[in-house]
Structures are given as C-alpha cells and as structure tokens.
C-alpha cells in the first residue's frame, strides 16, 4: 500500500503578485523550486498563513533570483500581495520508502530568499 507523505515544503514565502485574470497557477522563483525539489506543473497545496485560506494548484517556473511568488486565476481570490504562505507537495511511498525519509523544508527570508541551513 502506498501512503501520502509530505515531500517538500516552502515555509513562509510572501506573495508578490496576484492576477485573477491570468490562467490559474502559482509561479515561484526558480531558486525556490530547486531548493524544494519541485518541478513545473507539479501539484501543490498552498496554505495562506495571513488569512487562513487553503487551495490546490500547480507550480510554474518563475524568473531565477526574482523572489517572485505569484498567485494566478481563481486562487487569486484566496491571496493578496504581502500575504505569507506555505507551499507543500506530497509524495507516495511504500513502507520501505518511508524508512529514513525526511522532507525538504525550505525557509524563506526577506525577499523570498532561501535561508541557508534552515
């Protein structure tokens, strides 16, 4: 049996742009994607720390080094510029895969930069 486990998390990123008229998704700085091991079009859960909203979407590759966290489409009704969010991705593992597994946790600092060693 496969079970769903947290695979990676981007913790406390700040929304930099919202556009409800854009075809829906979540654009993240390429540096954040790489640090979290996320791939474009991968499904993610987004938890808005600022207002309690939660939504599912997929990620797009944003400009490297830009610090961007852009929320598009219908999800734009659940976030505002300046909101703090958590982005989480899950993976499915069997019993053998769970042994010794630890998710990637990426902590964001000012400008949505990866906090080293966090």
Q: Of 22, 27, 56, 58, which is the active-site residue?
A: 58
Catalytic residue check, 58:
yes
Q: Of 8, 22, 25, 56, which is the active-site residue?
A: 25
Count of Cβ atoms closer than 10 Å to residue 40 Cβ? 14
Q: What is the spatial distance between Cα 63 and Cα 52, in angstroms, rounded to a whole number?
A: 27
Catalytic residue check, 50:
no
Closest CA to 43 of 23, 25, 61, 58: 58
Residues 6+ apart with CB under 8 A from 21: none
Q: What is the spatial distance between Cα 70 and Cα 13, in angstroms, rounded to a whole number?
A: 11
Residues 6+ apart with CB under 8 A from 67: 16, 29, 111, 112, 113
Residues recognised as catalytic: 25, 58
């Amino acid at each position: 049996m496969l079970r769903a486990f947290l695979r990676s998390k981007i913790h406390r990123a700040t929304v930099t742009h919202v556009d409800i008229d854009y075809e829906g998704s979540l654009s993240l700085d390429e540096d954040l994607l790489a640090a979290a091991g996320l791939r474009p079009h991968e499904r993610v859960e987004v938890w808005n720390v600022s207002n309690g909203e939660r939504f599912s979407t997929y990620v797009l590759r944003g400009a490297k080094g830009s610090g961007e966290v852009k929320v598009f489409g219908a999800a734009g009704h659940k976030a505002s510029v300046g909101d703090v969010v958590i982005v989480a991705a899950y993976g499915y593992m069997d019993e053998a895969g769970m042994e010794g597994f630890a998710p990637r946790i990426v902590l964001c600092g000012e400008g949505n930069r990866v906090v080293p060693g966090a």
